[in-house]
Amino acid sequence: MPGFERFGDLERKELQDVLDNGVLMRYGFDGMRNGHWKAKALESELKTALQCDYVQLVSNGTSAVSVALASAGVGAGDEVIMPTFTFVASFEAILLLGAIPVLVDIDDTLGLDSKAVEAAITSKTKAVMVVQMCGSMANMNALSQVCEKHNLLLVEDACQAIGGRYNDKPLGSIGDLGCFSFDFVKTVTCGEGGAVITNNEEYYTNADHFSDHGHDHVGNDRGAETHPFLGYNFRISELHAAVGLAQIRRLSEFLEVQKINYTILRDALSQIPEVTFRTVPDGGQESYSFLNFFLPNLETARKTIESFKESGVDVCWNYYDNNWHYVRKWNHLKDAKSLFPLSKEIKEALGILSEKTFTQSDHYIGRNISCLIKLSWTEEEVKERAIKMVEAIRSSI
């Protein structure tokens, strides 16, 4: 999965170009650049790759979610529905705006369950944030229908799923706004970086201004720009954008390698009757950045993870016991441990969360094992890995 595994001459060339120009900031200093604008070029490449009208680069995937929500008017007191299985950044980005994260169950796609979403809607609900975890997707048709029925914003966090598709549309381009991360372990990396994409011009304009202190970016004199509204600093640098520019041009290469390695492993695990795979909705195509499968129960999954470790099979996880990606161990969220005072509404919502159980999510996450697909593996290494995985699973059942 990580694009850094294939860093080479293209990345070095783009980086050196920035250093030669000497302008590391994405805005201003027009005369020094000699026409070289890496962030603008990357935004243009992303528009083509993601089949969208507008792209705004930001500093990381977490800020992409905050900027996306803010650009559509989500803020203090608004409820945002999100899944129990995601990265902690999802609720961090919501809380940053003073909004309230409302967690609901996932289904066998490992994405939001549309029925759970609909049951959680209240008069305060403003948005539904679907997270396309581990290279695949939730049932987007069902979620889109729920959002349309209740006039809710659909925000698509595709930070782990660049290259995946649903009904021939890139993941991230299906909702009202899409969010991407280009951190160090993503398929396309900038080192640190992110993007907000949309087909809504107003949301784009808001994202453009909000992510740069409210600057309107009108004219060629940054000091003379006005500030239509409050903003903050979520800018990407030219150095980071330069790396991403080289990487996005290699996306098809990365996806091809991921698919080959994924297929070898999946074909091998398919021989085991007790192994089933995550559901990919009709019309969906994974990015093949992770292989996700289910075992009969939590005990078997835990035993398998230990067998993997003993066999030297790395980068595989059972998220049930994971501190970062599943609600079960998000004690800092449930206990509202914040450096600054939280609003009464947020405290009340988190108090409810601390007592809430997610039996359906436990059923899927407890039995799930998720394996990263590396770009650096040779075919021989993948085949050896497949043999070890099969042996380890069989010994654990």
DSSP string, 342-353: PPHHHHHHHHHH
pLDDT tens profile 28-83: 999 899 899 999 999 999 999 999 999 999 999 999 999 999 999 999 999 999 99
The mean pLDDT value for 10-19 works out to 97
Q: Please tell me the class of the 3-250 domain.
A: alpha beta
CA-to-CA distance for 127 and 371, rounded, in angstroms?
30
* In the block, residue with structure tokens 């309230």: 100
pLDDT at 258 over 90: yes
pLDDT at 1 over 90: no
Angle at 170 between CA 168 and CA 172, to 5 degrees: 140
Q: What is the pLDDT of residue 168?
A: 96
The mean pLDDT value for 225-246 works out to 98
Q: Could you tell me what percent of the chain has a pLDDT over 70?
A: 100
The mean pLDDT value for 295-323 works out to 97
CATH number of 252-396: 3.90.1150.10
Q: How confident is the model at residue 155 (pLDDT cuts 50, 70, 90)?
A: very high
* Cβ atoms within 10 Å of 215's Cβ, excluding its own: 19
Q: What is the pLDDT of residue 32?
A: 92
* Cβ atoms within 10 Å of 78's Cβ, excluding its own: 19
pLDDT tens profile 333-343: 999 999 999 99
The mean pLDDT value for 371-397 works out to 98
pLDDT tens profile 96-123: 999 999 999 999 999 999 999 999 999 9
pLDDT at 145 over 90: yes
Q: What is the pLDDT of residue 336?
A: 97
Contact 30, 144 (CB under 8 A): no
CA distances from 69 to 2, 62, 147, 362 (A): 27, 11, 15, 28
| Domain range annotation of the chain | 3-250, 252-396
Q: How confident is the model at residue 309 (pLDDT cuts 50, 70, 90)?
A: very high
Q: How confident is the model at residue 372 (pLDDT cuts 50, 70, 90)?
A: very high
pLDDT at 324 over 90: yes
Average pLDDT across the chain, whole number: 97
Q: What is the pLDDT of residue 59?
A: 98
**Does 186 qualify as catalytic in the annotation?**
yes
The mean pLDDT value for 176-199 works out to 98
pLDDT at 134 over 90: yes
Instruction: Say which of 38, 186, 303, 334 is annotated catalytic.
Output: 186
Contact 84, 327 (CB under 8 A): yes
